[in-house]
Amino acid sequence: MVFDDYYKIDSYVGEDNSALDYLDSPSKPNSGVYNGGLITIFNDSYAKKIDLGSWDCLNDKRFIPFSITAFGDLFLLETKTEQVSLFEPQFNRLTPIEINLKEFFDGFLTNQDIINDLLKEHYMLQVQSVCEKLEFGCCYILKPWLLSGGTDKPEKYEIGDFATYFDLVSQAY
């Protein structure tokens, strides 16, 4: 299965280039919100709002933030190797996925285990029933955060701007 077979765009952000437009790759979906916010792909101007410099583990490499999950985990492209990594801000954890963009969009994101376990589609739908669908640049944010002792229940989530959330969590580390 390929990305377009599973993911449907809810809102297209066409006034700006995708954060990945500089790459000469046919495997680049448009920037926008997909499947109610399960995945959001950044445009260039939103990607530039995300301050990676606040995180020690992101300072030593040149990353481009290009996508988030509904729960605020960030996908990054390492520019030298063009490999994808996952950064989980609540845990200050960077995990190299060690795949290129084509494999990411047409294999990784369409793998049912990834959809269920990493992206948490079923749980996202529970949270969505309490909060609403996500708009571009937003994610579900647990209040209080896990790192502050929060309890992960659908009714404890709010919708917030990812770039702001990302910056605030960085200050906690």
Q: Mind listing the pLDDT tens digit for each residue in 126-161?
A: 999 999 999 999 999 999 988 888 899 999 999 999
Written as one letter, the residue type at 36 is G
The whole-angstrom distance between residue 126's C-alpha and the CA centroid of its chain comes to 19
Burial letters 61-85, b for 16+ CB under 10 A, else e: eebbbbbbbbbbbbbbbeeeeebbb
User: Where does the pLDDT of residue 30 fall: very low under 50, low under 70, confident under 90, or very high at 90 and above?
Assistant: confident
Tally of domains in the chain: 1
Residue that wins the pLDDT comparison between 11 and 52 = 52
- In terms of residue numbers, what domain contains 58? 3-171
Element (H, E) at 169: helix 162-171
pTM equals 0.92
CA-closest candidate to residue 69, choices 34, 99, 27, 23: 34
Mean pLDDT, range 23-46, rounded to an integer: 85
169 pLDDT above the threshold of 80: yes
- CB neighbours (10 Å) of residue 121? 17
Mean pLDDT, range 11-20, rounded to an integer: 72
43-96 pLDDT per residue, tens: 888 999 999 998 988 876 789 999 999 999 999 999 889 899 999 999 999 999
